[in-house]
A and B are shown apart, each in its own frame.
Chain A
Amino acid sequence: MRNIKTLIEALKNIHSKETISYPIGEWPGKKYSNIPETLRGKPIINEEKCIGCEACYNACSAFTIKFFNEKDKRRYSIDINKCIFCGRCEDVCPEDAIKLSNEFELTHFPEENEEKRYVKWEKILKNCKNCGERFATIDQINKIHDRISLNINPKVSEEVLKDYEIYSNYCPKCRKILSYKIGINPSKYYLRIGKDLKEMK
C-alpha cells in the first residue's frame, strides 16, 4: 500500500537525537548545538579604546545608553534589559571600542541588578582653567590632537598644533571671551598677511 512510506519514516525516527538537554551551569549538551560567533548578544566595552565621544549615545535606537557627571568623572551605563541588540552602537563607534559578544544568557534575579543588568564604564574629565567647568574627556582631547597631526598640511602643522595645546585647556565659552588674551584669535593671521602684502609693495 502507498502508506508504507509514512511507516518507514516513523520507524527511522526512533534513533534521532533532536532533543538535547540544556541545564543551567555546566553544559554537557554543548557538543550538539553550535552557537555561531556572529550571534548578536550582549554589548561589551573595551575601556582603553573608548574616548568618550558619545556617538553610541546618539545612535542607540532604544535609548538605553545613559551618562551623568560626578565630580571629575563621567559615568556611562547600558541597560541590558532594554537593549534590542540591533548593533547601531557597533556601526557608529569610531574606535571599535563597543562590540556585541555572543553571550545570550542574560536573565538574573532582582537582587543582582547592579552587577548583571548594567554595563558600566567611566572616563576622567578635564576642567577649564578659567571657569572650572568640565567640558570634555582627556582621551577625546588627545585623540583630536592625533587626528589633526595626521591630516594637516605639513607647512602649517607646527603653528596649529602649538595653538591647539593652548586652547585645549579652556571650555568653548571661555575660548571665545578670552581669545585675544591668550593669543589664539585668527585675526593674527590676517594681520600677518596684510604685513606681507605691504612688504611686497
Chain B
Amino acid sequence: MIENSMKNILEDLSNLIIETHDIKINKQLAKILSIDKEKLIEIAKRILKNSNSRLVHEIAIDLGIDGFKIIQLYELFNSEGKAYHIGIESYFPREESKIPSLAAITYQANWAEREIMELLGIEFEGHPDKRHLFLPYEWPNETEAGLEEAKKIGFNVFPKPEPPNILPIGPYHPALLEGVFLRLKVDGETIIDADLKPGFNHRGIMKLGEERSYWRNLYLFERVCGICSADHANAYVLAVENLFNIEPPDRAKYIRTLGIELERIASHLLWLGVAADLIGFKTFFMWCWKEREKAIDLLERLSGNRVTKGIARFGGAKRDLGKEEIEKMIEKLKDIEKSVKNLLDIAYNNSILRKRTEDIGILDFQNAIEYGAVGPVARASNWKIDVRHDCPFDAYSQEYTTWDVIVDNGKDVWARVIVRIKEIFVSIDICNQCLNALKNIKGEIVTSEKIELRKGEGIGKVEAPRGELIYYLMSNGEPIPYAVRIRTPSYRNNAIVPFILKGYRISDAPIIYGSVDPCMSCTDRVQIIDIKSGEKKIISLNDLIKRR
C-alpha cells in the first residue's frame, strides 16, 4: 500500500535522481532524493499534481565551505488515506546561489522562502513578494530590494501618519495579545486588503540551539512558547530519539501522552475565553478561565510547574505517578467534563454569540489545501489531517488508545469554535484511557539503552493545540547539533490571514484574526546564521566562535 505508492513515484522520477537515503520520522521511514538544482521545479510540479499532497516545510542549511543544502519535505496521502513522506534535497556551491522559487507555483512556500532570502542570502528567482519577513523593511540600507518591493505593492513602509483609509492595528492595540503589525485598507467599514508583519518577538532561538549540547537544548526549546511548552519539548525529544535510534518504554509513553493532552485542554479553554473577549462577552471569558484553573492544577501535580513542564527526557519521562494520585486525577477530570458541557450549552444557546460568529471568515476546502492551513483551522474546512492519526507517536497508535478525529463542514468561525470544544472531550477521553492503563502496566520509565553519537538527520513531529509542529535535527558526530530547524503551526496559520479578512467589516477583524489562534511567540524564533555575501554589516565575532 504505502510501499507501492512510494515505489510508483520513485520509478516515475528515476531518471532524475542521483541518490537516496532514509530519515526516520516518528516510526515511519521517509525517502530523501538528491537531485540537481535545476530540476527542482519539475519534480515539485509532479509531486504536487497529486490532489492529496502538501508541502510540509522548506529548509536551507549553510554548510560552510561546501556551500548550501536545501530540502523540501512533502506529505502525500494514498487512496486509503494513509500518509507517507518524500523529501527532495540538493546541494549547490556558494558562488551560484540562485534557485528557481517554489512559491511561484504554490502559496505554501511563500513565508519559508522569504525567511531564507533575508537571513541566508540565497535568491529565489520568480518569487512574487520579496519583502523582508522578520527584519525591518529598511534594513540594512534604504535601497535594498525590500523597500522597493514594498512600495510596488502599495503599502507605505515608514511610520508616518497614514491616510485615513488605512487602519493600523499596530504593535500596541487592545485587541492583540502579542505584538504583530496588522494593517487594513478600509473603505468606510469594509476591508479591502490586509497585510501582516511579524518579527516583534524575535529572540534568535535556533541560533542559540546550535551552540549548546543536546541535553541543555531541552531546557531552551521548552521556553519557545508558554502555552504549548510540553509539545516543543516532546518534539525535540522525538527528533533526538529518531536520530540516535532509541525507544522509550511503554509506561513513559503513556505519561508523555498524558502531558500533551492535558495541555491541549488548558490551551483550548484559554482560546475560548479570548475569543469571547474579542466579541465583547467579558463574562464568558471569566467563566472559561475559571475552569482552566482545574486543568492547570492537574498539570502541576504531574510535572511540578504550571508553565514550563519538564515531562519528557531522552528515552523516557521524568516523573512517575502513584496509585492515589491517579485516583484523584480521574475524579477531577470528571469535574472538568461537567463544566465544559455547561459552557458548550451556554455558547450554543446564546443568540447574539451565534450571530457574531456565523458566516464570517470563510475558508473553502480548496483554499485550505492551496494556502496550507494546519490544525483546527483545516479541520473546520472538512480536511481531515491530524499528526496523531497520520504519523502516530508515543501512545497514539491503535495498540495503545482509540479515539476519533473531529472534522466539521462549517468553514466559518463558528465551526472552529465547535471543533475546538469537541476536541476537549476527545482529550478527556484519551486522558482517562491513559490513566487506566497506568494502573496496570508496570516497568521503568527510562530506557537503559545508551546514546551513541553518529552522523545523520532526524525529524520529530507532534500535534500541538494549534496544528502540526516539526523539528529537524542534523548532526555530524559531535555532542553539539549542527543544525536545528523549527516550524511551528502558527507560521502557517498566520500566512492565510490576509485571505480570510478580505470583504468583511472592521468589527469582524479581531474575531477572524483570533479564530486562527495566533501565537506570536511560536512564530518569531528565527535564526541569524551567517554573513550575507558581499555585505558590510557583520555579526559579531563572538557569535561565531562561542561553542560550549
A and B: direct contact (Cβ < 8 Å)?
yes
Q: Which residues of A contact B (CB under 8 A)?
A: 1-3, 5-6, 9-10, 13, 16, 18, 34, 36, 38-40, 61, 84-88, 100
* Chain A positions within 8 Å of B293 at CB level: 18
* Chain B positions within 8 Å of A40 at CB level: 304-305, 310
Taken together as a complex, chains A and B put the C-alpha atoms of A155 and B36 apart, in Å, by: 67
* Chain B positions within 8 Å of A9 at CB level: 287, 342, 346
- 12 A–B contacts, CB within 8 A, in A order: A2-B351, A3-B351, A6-B346, A9-B346, A10-B283, A13-B287, A34-B297, A38-B319, A39-B300, A84-B219, A86-B310, A87-B310
Whether the pair A6, B300 counts as a contact (CB closer than 8 A) is no
In the complex with contacts A13-B287, A86-B219, A87-B318, A36-B351 CB distance below 8 A: no
Which chain B residue has the least Cβ–Cβ distance from A12? B342
Whether the pair A2, B349 counts as a contact (CB closer than 8 A) is yes
Chain A nearest Cβ from B282, distance in angstroms: 12
Q: Mark B296-338, 1 if CB is under 8 A from A, else 0.
A: 0100110111001010000000110000000000000000000
Q: Mark B338-361, 1 if CB is under 8 A from A, else 0.
A: 000010011001110000000000
* Chain A positions within 8 Å of B532 at CB level: none
Which chain B residue has the least Cβ–Cβ distance from A13? B287
* Chain A positions within 8 Å of B283 at CB level: 6, 10
Chain A nearest Cβ from B426, distance in angstroms: 24
Chain A nearest Cβ from B303, distance in angstroms: 8
Chain A nearest Cβ from B226, distance in angstroms: 14
- Which listed residue (A5, A34, A36) contacts B346, Cβ 8 A? A5
* Chain A positions within 8 Å of B216 at CB level: 61
The 7 closest A-B pairs by CB, nearest first: A40-B304, A2-B349, A61-B219, A5-B349, A36-B301, A38-B304, A61-B216
Taken together as a complex, chains A and B put the C-alpha atoms of A86 and B216 apart, in Å, by: 10
Taken together as a complex, chains A and B put the C-alpha atoms of A55 and B287 apart, in Å, by: 48
Whether the pair B350, A6 counts as a contact (CB closer than 8 A) is yes
* Chain B positions within 8 Å of A36 at CB level: 300-301, 304
Q: Contacts A40-B304, A40-B305 given; 4 further ones with Cβ under 8 A?
A: A5-B350, A6-B349, A39-B300, A61-B219
B46 at the interface (CB under 8 A from A): no
* Interface of A (DSSP majority class): loop
* Chain B positions within 8 Å of A86 at CB level: 219, 310
Whether the pair A5, B305 counts as a contact (CB closer than 8 A) is no
Whether the pair A85, B305 counts as a contact (CB closer than 8 A) is yes
Chain A nearest Cβ from B284, distance in angstroms: 8
Which chain A residue has the least Cβ–Cβ distance from B222? A86
Chain B nearest Cβ from A55, distance in angstroms: 14
B173 at the interface (CB under 8 A from A): no
Whether the pair A39, B304 counts as a contact (CB closer than 8 A) is yes
* Chain B positions within 8 Å of A2 at CB level: 349-351
B439 at the interface (CB under 8 A from A): no
Taken together as a complex, chains A and B put the C-alpha atoms of A10 and B287 apart, in Å, by: 9
Taken together as a complex, chains A and B put the C-alpha atoms of A177 and B373 apart, in Å, by: 70
Chain B nearest Cβ from A48, distance in angstroms: 26
B45 at the interface (CB under 8 A from A): no
* Chain A positions within 8 Å of B349 at CB level: 2-3, 5-6
Chain A nearest Cβ from B373, distance in angstroms: 32
Interface centre among B305, B319, B345, B351 (most CB of A within 10 A): B305
* Chain B positions within 8 Å of A18 at CB level: 290, 293
* Chain A positions within 8 Å of B305 at CB level: 39-40, 85
Chain A nearest Cβ from B78, distance in angstroms: 43
Which chain B residue has the least Cβ–Cβ distance from A4? B349
Interface centre among B283, B293, B304, B342 (most CB of A within 10 A): B304
* Chain A positions within 8 Å of B350 at CB level: 2-3, 5-6
* Chain B positions within 8 Å of A13 at CB level: 287
Whether the pair B345, A5 counts as a contact (CB closer than 8 A) is yes
* Chain B positions within 8 Å of A85 at CB level: 305
Which chain A residue has the least Cβ–Cβ distance from B217? A61
* Chain B positions within 8 Å of A1 at CB level: 351
Chain A nearest Cβ from B497, distance in angstroms: 30
* Chain B positions within 8 Å of A84 at CB level: 219, 308
Taken together as a complex, chains A and B put the C-alpha atoms of A6 and B276 apart, in Å, by: 14
Taken together as a complex, chains A and B put the C-alpha atoms of A38 and B342 apart, in Å, by: 32
Taken together as a complex, chains A and B put the C-alpha atoms of A2 and B349 apart, in Å, by: 5
* Chain A positions within 8 Å of B303 at CB level: 38
Taken together as a complex, chains A and B put the C-alpha atoms of A39 and B309 apart, in Å, by: 11
* Chain A positions within 8 Å of B345 at CB level: 5
* Chain B positions within 8 Å of A88 at CB level: 215
Taken together as a complex, chains A and B put the C-alpha atoms of A34 and B294 apart, in Å, by: 12
Chain A nearest Cβ from B367, distance in angstroms: 33
* Chain B positions within 8 Å of A61 at CB level: 215-216, 219
Taken together as a complex, chains A and B put the C-alpha atoms of A13 and B303 apart, in Å, by: 31
Which chain B residue has the least Cβ–Cβ distance from A104? B305
Taken together as a complex, chains A and B put the C-alpha atoms of A6 and B216 apart, in Å, by: 49
Whether the pair A38, B287 counts as a contact (CB closer than 8 A) is no
Chain B nearest Cβ from A119, distance in angstroms: 19
Taken together as a complex, chains A and B put the C-alpha atoms of A87 and B319 apart, in Å, by: 11
